[in-house]
Amino acid sequence: MTFEAIDAWWWPYAFILLAGWLATDAWRFLGVYLGGRIAEESDLLVLVRCIATALVAAVIANLVVFPNGALAGVPLALRVGAAAAGFVAYLLGGRHIIVGVLAGEAALFAGMALL
């Protein structure tokens, strides 16, 4: 079965949903199944958390350094500074994600207003 197998308007959407579901849900089910059996301090779970954190950091760095759309017109220094301000606010705000996100957005909007 391929992406072009069926010539119907709905097939690309069904294909993407099916392929996305098959690719991710198997791992989700495996994680739920094994999650209760693995100690939280085990080396395997620490490795999984490190990899997940690294992937999220890579996605954020990619969005900051190589943005698309309107954010691409904002200078790199402002984007990096807003991300740094959001991180500092996250740390000082009791490690609440919403505090970091709002502070980063506020820094970005303030910097854009000054440009």
Digit-coded pLDDT (tens) for 50-66: 999 999 999 999 999 99
Share of the chain above pLDDT 90, in %: 57
Digit-coded pLDDT (tens) for 96-111: 999 999 999 999 999 9
State the Cα–Cα distance between residues 88 and 67, nearest whole angstrom.
22
Q: Which of 113, 115, 109, 108 is nearest to 82 (CA)?
A: 108
State the Cα–Cα distance between residues 20 and 18, nearest whole angstrom.
5
What global pTM score does this model have?
A: 0.67
Task: Provide the residue type at 20 as one letter.
Answer: G
Digit-coded pLDDT (tens) for 18-40: 888 888 888 888 888 877 788 88
pLDDT bracket for residue 2 (50, 70, 90): low
State the Cα–Cα distance between residues 60 and 68, nearest whole angstrom.
13
State the Cα–Cα distance between residues 109 and 115, nearest whole angstrom.
10
